[in-house]
Structure 1
């Protein structure tokens, strides 16, 4: 499978200027709806239309396992990844409930789950390999495997767009992936490694200390700094999938709604490869994982929500969707001040 870095179109600045004029002329004081007005303008500039829409949203949830779990970087065994994917496919996971509540479709992409998953209408079987190698000892992926994972992310976006998706939301499932995300932030932020490592899912103090030792060994093993090589050395197959998806969605002029720490790490890689991708991104929330705020600051990103979430699965991205829909509806449906004055 061949992957190449896509060219990303610039935002439509003419539409942005016209939509700003329209929003400022609504029946309200200019700026009275705060960031909602900015979101509407960004949506319009992405889509190239003064009547933006964000109704048909698809959550692309990438799943993969990590060799780093061999050294205890997670409080949970890697078998939990496959178990949680099956729960998502069964419609009983947290993201399943939230997606139903917000009218979003969930699709799961198996980029690298260790173990077989049964066929399912919601599942895209794109397994590159059964989990990455242990990045504390060797590169997590070969160059070919990393490119294949990037391509599987792009392919998932192309399928969603062909089916009518107006918005792409990113989510993930992968035991051990906070460790991989910490290494990506450390090298691509860049940021001191100690500032990039948090508790993840369920660690106690002893577990955190073990995680810090393992990630220090991984960082010492390789001094890669070029984005693709950093992703290959330290990333996950599901993270590479989300990176490819973010870039493909931007190339297709689709808004990208980013979830938490892991999804943002994928966008960090994408932004280091193609900085323009950030013009297409909306950051759903600020995670309780401490390094997420640091990562958001590195990207000059303003999250839409701060609910103390630290689950992943795309849950924060899904919860942000109604805000984008409200912004688009405001731009399309709110009367202008001129109309109000004409009726007086």
Structure 2
């Protein structure tokens, strides 16, 4: 579980990048967050001329044992497999957003409680047919958790070998907001009641019941390290996300982080290797209750605030075009000298 993730800090390059940004035909700072993104991607790629190449979205899907009881989720567990069918058929929001923005969309069966036809355009990385119910026992074994980490990393390595250097992540799994809330509480030490939200649409009574159930689950276990916490509370799709995020950083890829569940995976990843955060751009502020607290814990500044809480990587798919335009302005926008425009006057 060792990842060799190098820091992107390079003072000499940083000076050159900032100078290049400042000399574009605009007032200093006039492109706001786009300037920050351009600077960061230059640092990630260690160049004054970064590129966004073959951007992709990877959606990991998995089922959760606790969902079978229906106590923390308003939708039945079968919705996970049904939504994977929807992804394959091109009918989901992530399909529309990916198609619109020219993103390579990959769907991964990390552990859905269903056997998909082999002809489906799905990456079969299934660990098992859903996790166990953590009300009764850990969600998965340590061996299963490690396997999920490595499989997530292998998927990213394949994409990198195919020319992808910018990647966004999404997920699908009924009850995965419950796992994310438990992981959030473990890694941030925020009270579990402040981590639990509506998920796929619980009313106030449902949220209260979910808080009570997850509080009991949280007290039941005492994980000693990030891998153990993921094995106890996580889902196969969340564990695979964590491994994928770590591998993407090791491969020096730009990582676009989606909402509540993907950020929960990132909490585990940064507990394993803090340098992973240097490769992350945060797509949006989800409307799921705990997400803003996660972002604050990570000192993260999201690009968008659109009231989204769908998952699937939809926020990442909307943010990647902003990443692309940031790189393009850095490379293609004229400098004052090149355009023959007078720059700032000096006293």
Shorter-chain TM band: over 0.9
1:83 maps to 82
1:59 maps to 57
1:5 maps to 2
Paired with 1:188 and 1:225, the residues of 2 have a C-alpha distance of 11
SS state of the match for residue 228, structure 2? helix
Paired with 2:47 and 2:222, the residues of 1 have a C-alpha distance of 44
Aligned-pair CA distance for 1:225: 4.8
Are 2:190 and 1:155 aligned? no
Residue 44 of structure 1 is aligned with which of 27, 33, 42?
42
Task: Give me the TM-score of the superposition, normalised by structure 2.
Answer: 0.95
2:290 maps to 291
Query: Mean Cα displacement is larger for which, 104-113 or 116-125?
Result: 116-125
SS state of the match for residue 302, structure 1? coil
Query: Mean Cα displacement is larger for which, 13-22 or 292-301?
Result: 13-22
1:194 maps to 193
Q: Deviations over 1:280-324 (max 9, x none)?
A: 001110001010000111111111100000100000000001110
Q: Deviations over 1:220-243 (max 9, x none)?
A: 110225211111110111001110
Paired with 2:291 and 2:319, the residues of 1 have a C-alpha distance of 17
Are 2:214 and 1:215 aligned? yes
Q: Which runs of 5+ in 2 are unaligned?
A: none
SS state of the match for residue 340, structure 2? helix
Query: Mean Cα displacement is larger for which, 152-161 or 225-234?
Result: 225-234
2:205 maps to 206
Paired with 2:326 and 2:252, the residues of 1 have a C-alpha distance of 18
Paired with 2:209 and 2:68, the residues of 1 have a C-alpha distance of 12
Query: Mean Cα displacement is larger for which, 9-18 or 323-332?
Result: 9-18
Pair 223,332 (structure 1): closer, same or farther in 2 beyond 3 Å? same
Paired with 1:81 and 1:131, the residues of 2 have a C-alpha distance of 10
The RMSD of aligned alpha carbons is 1.4
SS state of the match for residue 290, structure 1? coil
Aligned-pair CA distance for 1:36: 0.8
Paired with 2:103 and 2:120, the residues of 1 have a C-alpha distance of 16
1:302 maps to 301
The structure 1 segments of at least 4 consecutive aligned residues displaced by more than 4 Å after TM superposition are none
Q: Deviations over 1:57-115 (max 9, x none)?
A: 11111010001213421111111001101110111111000100111011011111001
Task: Give me the TM-score of the superposition, normalised by structure 1.
Answer: 0.96
Native 8 Å contact 2:25 2:341 kept in 1: no
Paired with 1:73 and 1:121, the residues of 2 have a C-alpha distance of 30
Paired with 2:183 and 2:322, the residues of 1 have a C-alpha distance of 29
Number of matched pairs: 341
Paired with 2:2 and 2:130, the residues of 1 have a C-alpha distance of 24
2:92 maps to 93
